[in-house]
Amino acid sequence: MSNVLTELSTAMATAVSQADSGIVRVEGRRRLGATGIVWSDGLILTANHVVNHDEGLHIGLPNGDRASASLVGRDPSTDLALLKTEASGLTPLTEGNKQELGVGNLVLALGRPGRTVQATLGIVSALGDGWRTQLGGQIDRYLQTDVVMYPGFSGGPLIDTAGQLIGLNTSALGRGVSLTIPTQTLARVADALQTHGRVQRGYLGVSTQRVHLPDDLKAELNQKRGLLVVSVEKDSPAAKAGLTLGDTLVAFGDSPVQSHDDLLALLAGDVVGTAVPAKFIRGGQVHTTEITVVARP
């Protein structure tokens, strides 16, 4: 047994050592530093919530030096930010085989809030299908661990015992749980940020307020709530589709909408430029219109 534990201990220490050159400190907020992952070609991925300003950014390098960085773009909906640096000697982490990852597998969360890399050990607690954050960001896989997220670990990598990248850790997407943004999402968002500086989101041009539906419409629509339209911007997609103040939006596409979060989740980038059917209540009657979604300004 002692030999097994010794081998495991050595393997984990080796994994941390191998990942060291792919992890930087991100100085994007006051006081405590955060962590970033070397992505490719001088690009650093980190958590959006630890980058509080757009200019005057710096990173701490594995060799102890400090280098300037610039913001390429950010996506609050997935809590990701992409930085660029001219610093040399940085090595991107190798992506792990996500098919081999299972509940119960040992994982390591790494951070560099100071000069050196810190590590904490845990297991994969839960794996699931893709999901959307409260701001409507698409995460390709639900990945929860029981690792302890020490201060400054947000933006750092989750690695397997071979030192390969599983995803980016963040404390901002779930309350009381340690969630990891998988590499598939990292690649998609990083590509969008590098190309456009942001992740494209759909836009209707309405402000809404959640309301309870009358009993007869609850039964007809099989839902309890809808979104009362309290303002419509001039020449917006909603205005062009005929929505007006006092309408109550109850469905968008094939999905019911009972809260503002429901609507945000349905306004992903893939619906931009498409005509989406929408159901709304006006004068106690259910009506249907088509809204051609545009990109959020």
75, 79, 160, 262: which is the annotated catalytic residue? 79
Query: pLDDT at position 175, please?
Result: 82
Q: Which of 144, 176, 194 is the last residue of a domain?
A: 194
pLDDT tens digits in sequence order for the chain, 297 residues long: 668 889 989 999 999 999 999 999 999 998 889 999 999 989 999 999 999 999 999 999 999 999 999 999 999 989 999 999 999 889 999 998 877 899 999 999 999 999 999 999 999 999 999 998 887 788 999 999 999 999 999 999 999 999 999 999 999 998 888 899 999 999 999 999 998 888 888 999 999 999 999 999 999 999 999 999 999 999 999 999 999 999 999 999 999 999 988 898 888 777 889 999 999 999 999 999 999 999 887
Q: Which of 194, 213, 241 is the last residue of a domain?
A: 194
The CATH code of the domain that includes 261 is 2.30.42.10
212 catalytically annotated: no
Under a CB-based contact definition with an 8 Å cutoff, are residues 173 and 179 in contact? Answer: yes
Q: For residue 247, which of 202, 278, 277, 215 has the smallest C-alpha distance? A: 278
162 and 237 belong to one structural domain:
no
164 and 286 belong to one structural domain:
no
129 catalytically annotated: no
5 and 138 belong to one structural domain:
yes
**DSSP secondary structure of 155-183:** TPEEE-TTS-EEEEEESSSSTTSEEEEEH
49, 77, 171, 247: which is the annotated catalytic residue? 49
Number of domains in the chain: 2
77, 154, 171, 178: which is the annotated catalytic residue? 154
Range of the domain at 9: 1-194
153 and 86 belong to one structural domain:
yes
Q: Which of 151, 178, 194 is the last residue of a domain?
A: 194
157 and 288 belong to one structural domain:
no
CA distance 185 to 191: 10
154 catalytically annotated: yes
221 and 159 belong to one structural domain:
no
Q: What share of the chain is helix, strand, coil (3-state, %, to 5)?
A: 20, 40, 40
129 and 272 belong to one structural domain:
no
Helices (H), 32-104: none
Query: pLDDT at position 27, please?
Result: 96
Query: pLDDT at position 237, please?
Result: 97
The CATH code of the domain that includes 126 is 2.40.10.120
63 and 1 belong to one structural domain:
yes
Q: For residue 47, which of 106, 99, 111 has the smallest C-alpha distance? A: 111
118 and 187 belong to one structural domain:
yes
141 and 24 belong to one structural domain:
yes
Measuring CA to CA, how many Å separate 226 from each of 16, 181, 234, 241? Answer: 50, 31, 22, 18
207 and 166 belong to one structural domain:
no
